[in-house]
Amino acid sequence: MDNTLPDQYSSEEKEEILRRYQRLLSVWQTRKEKQDLDMVEKAFYFAANAHCNQRRRTGEPYIYHPIEVATIAAQDIGLGRTSIVCALLHDVVEDTEFTLDDISSMFGEKVSHIIDGLTKLDKVENAESMQAENFKKIISSLSYDIRVVLIKLADRLHNMRTLSSMPPHKQLKIASETSYIYAPLAYRLGLHAIKNELEDLSLKYRDPVIYESINKQMNEVRAERTAQLREFLVPIEETFKKRGMEVSTQIIERSTHSIWKRMQKKQLTFDDLYGNFNIRFIVDCPLDMEKIECWKIYAVLTDVYTPNATKLKDWISTPKINGYESIHAVFMSKDGKWVEVHIRTKRMDEIAEKGFTAYWQYRTDNQTESGFDEWLKRVNELISSESDSTLDFVDTFTNDLFSDEIKVFTPQGKPITLPKHSTVLDFAYSIHSEVGNHSIAAHVNNQLVQLDQKLKTGDQVEIITSEAQHPQEKWFEFLNTAFAKSKLKAGIKEYRRSFREKGEEKFNDIMKRLGLEASKANRSKVMEDEHISSAVDFFYYLAEGKITEQHIQKVLKPQSSSNGSILRYLTFGLLGGSDSKEKKEATVSSGEFDFNVATCCNPIPGDEVVAFTFPGEPLQIHRSDCPKAIEMMSRYGNSIVKAKWQPKSEIAFLAGLKITAIDSIGLLNKMTDLLSNELKLNLHSLQMESKQDLVESNISVYVHNTAELKLLIDKLSKLHGVKKVVRLV
């Protein structure tokens, strides 16, 4: 194919395409010898010609997208020639007439292999979720070439940057998928800048009101907070100069999504939250001097300002599993404000921004295995293990490999990294399947505990086992990791196999007494009625007496049929959405749909809401920022209906509030008088607990919409002694 742009592009478009291509070359920082440049140029012109008849929803030439993806891969992730070529070609096989064989013949087998990993599956027969199937395909590439995932993250970032051209239901689907799967994946690969931008853009489309509100508040305080931090730095930089220390400083803004999550977690307003702006100290020094130089900076800070000892976090001695290293500390400024600082070296800073690629660039041959190596091992174990379904795979990946970690120790002092909230039994299965299967208890820090005891960082754990013990179904209730659950499931299956002969004998005897054939067809009818999918389980339940002759007789020789039960749904006068070909947003008059209001987030009229439609089921209504809704949108994007509330005025909805106030006589009377007499609201429940001089109240009250709820919050906040009122999810 000629190194020219086809005439399907206008002269202005050709000029813009070449300008973007030159920018790609300028940000490419790895090896750029002639053969590298020639290969990238060949891929550029090939992609430009292949996509020449395609346009994005904005009307722009489609080739803009692969060029921008390649630019992100080169600039933000630090990838090289092969990855840039693959980024330029990543949509060719999926969207044009060219095949993987064409790619292989022109660019080689390695490029073809990566492109195959990036190409979406057309259709998987009987798939529960095509979103999950495609995600599993991408994740599986971690076992053979991590560049597939890195390019996919670059692709997702550019798609999020241009998401405004998509219809609302697609925006919700893609934004939720991004925050549930791709942003945590970027975090796990150490790509903090990309992770932050993905989360911010996701929040922008899921909850635009929150996003705009926080951005507006950041704009209002930026100049003032920056000036305060520069003043904070003056005596520190003077001390650096006196001691001959060369340290660079940066004022960093926390991401919009991060601020929102901290506001939710701490139940604080924007104004009450510190650390929205912080200071980063960076020193360039040899690898063997890094710890010393970082702690020297910390020592200078303690000479000038008073630290908050409870907020000190040492991620240098014990790096995060994604390779992140830094000292985090908080100091009191002269004007009485807490200031958060991060201390790191140039190497640590590059790893924090570019993650995996920078980590391998700095890795030495004699370096011990890192947390990142451990994480990749866990990924490969998951990929190679059997899973009942793709959705199980995705659950395992998100639950086990995206969660925060704890580090615990064996009796011999060997550190074991586990997901946060792991239990003693999770630990046992992480050691070995047989240890888990025969566990009866444990010593944690020399104290005897049960198998459901949750572990925390620093615990030393010794598992107590017995050969008489066997894996049990009830253990699923206190396992946190999907990896341990899969091991337990396999252990139960193996244990139950030993009952097959006894179960078969019992089945044959029962069938003989009933005058029926002990056939597979008859067995299947009983299994279906008892909701049993495995013959191993069937014969085990028979052998243990959990399936009796009466059960079998009822199924195979029924005397009478029982009446079917009808599940009735309460229909509120709410809401709407339409599911036409274009899936456009709509509002429907009251009473046209059966729906369920999700109890996990308790949406009320005025909230940003989303509805899910599944065959034969009522609509499910969630707040758009509900974690459960985000998970569902990342799986079932085609079932989303963007909904608006249009309630009947007499319908009231339950909302929860948490009120923190100074404990005083008459507080309860003031609150109930406001609710009942002034606002005429119906109180559902109220709980109060006194904690020293403060009292915390949780109330549930029926309101008609968010405007009414906001009025209630405002009036409660103005009551004498009330310090904080927050809405409960």
pTM above 0.75, yes or no: no
Question: What is the fold of 216-362?
Answer: Beta Polymerase; domain 2 (3.30.460)
Categorize the per-residue pLDDT at 664 as very low, low, confident or very high, splitting at 50, 70 and 90: confident
Whether the pLDDT of residue 584 is over 50: the answer is: no
Distance CA 604, CA 712 (A): 14
User: Three-state DSSP class for 101?
Assistant: helix
Most confident listed range (51-55, 551-555, 613-617): 51-55
| Arithmetic mean of pLDDT, 569-589 | 35
Give the other-Cβ count within 10 Å of 160's Cβ: 23
pLDDT in the model for residue 668: 87
Comparing 688 with 593, the larger pLDDT belongs to 688
Confidence category of residue 400, pLDDT binned at 50, 70, 90: low
Q: Are the beta carbons of 51 and 61 closer than 8 angstroms?
A: yes
Q: How far apart are CA 407 and CA 413, in angstroms?
A: 11
The model's confidence at residue 251, banded by pLDDT at 50, 70 and 90, is: very high
Looking at the DSSP bridge assignments, the partners of residue 496 are none
Residue 255: both structure tokens together: 């991401």
pLDDT of residue 393: 66
pLDDT in tens, 105-159: 999 999 998 998 888 755 544 445 666 777 777 777 776 788 888 999 999 999 9
For 6-24, the pLDDT digits (tens) are 889 999 999 999 999 999 9
Residues near 111 by beta carbon (within 8 Å), at least 6 away in sequence:
82, 85, 86, 89, 103, 104
Whose tokens are 């007439």? That residue is: 97
Q: Where are the alpha helices (DSSP H) in 141-182?
A: 147-161, 168-177
Asked if the model's pLDDT at residue 565 lies above 70, the reply is: no
Pick the CATH number of 653-728 from 1.20.140.10, 3.40.50.970, 3.30.70.260, 1.25.50.10: 3.30.70.260
Q: Which residue has the higher pLDDT, 118 or 640?
A: 118
In this prediction, residue 356 carries a pLDDT of 65
Active-site residue list: 94-95
Domain layout of the chain by residue ranges: 11-208, 216-362, 403-496, 498-556, 568-650, 653-728
- Residue 43's nearest CA partner among 24, 58, 61 is 24
Angle CA(720)–CA(724)–CA(729) in degrees, nearest 5?
A: 135
pLDDT at 181: 84
Q: Which CATH superfamily is domain 403-496 in?
A: Beta-grasp domain (3.10.20.30)
Measured CA angle at 294 (ends 292, 295), to 5 deg: 65
Question: Looking at the predicted structure, is the pLDDT value of residue 88 above 90?
Answer: yes
Mean pLDDT of the 554-559 span: 76
Average pLDDT (39-67) is 93
pLDDT of residue 294: 96
User: pLDDT category, 700, cuts 50, 70, 90?
Assistant: confident
Mean pLDDT, residues 594-602: 77
Contact 588, 572 (CB under 8 A): no
pLDDT at 586: 33
Q: What's the first-to-final CA gap in the chain, in angstroms?
A: 58
27 residue type, one letter: V
446 class by beta-carbon count within 10 Å (0-12 exposed, 13-18 middle, 19+ buried): exposed
Looking at residue 391, what is its pLDDT?
65
CATH 1.10.357.140 fits 11-208, yes or no: no
653-728 has the same fold as 216-362: no
Band (561; pLDDT cuts 50, 70, 90): very low
Torsion of CA 656, 661, 665, 666, to 10 degrees: -40
Per-residue pLDDT band for 646 (boundaries 50, 70, 90) equals low
Does residue 498 register a pLDDT over 80?
yes
Average pLDDT over residues 55-84: 92
Average pLDDT of the segment spanning 594-615: 78
pLDDT band, residue 569 (cuts 50/70/90): very low
Residues 177-184: contacts with CB within 8 Å, 24+ apart?
A: 177/131, 177/633, 177/634, 177/637, 178/202, 179/203, 179/206, 179/630, 179/634, 180/398, 180/630, 180/631, 180/633, 180/634, 181/135, 181/394, 181/398, 181/634, 182/152, 182/153, 182/156, 184/398, 184/402
The H-assigned helical ranges of 6-146 are 11-27, 34-50, 64-75, 81-89, 92-95, 100-107, 109-118, 130-140
Q: How far apart are CA 538 and CA 171, in angstroms?
A: 46
pLDDT at position 547 is 87
How many other C-beta atoms are found inside a 10 Å radius of the C-beta of residue 175?
A: 26
Which pLDDT score, from 0 to 100, does residue 554 have? 84
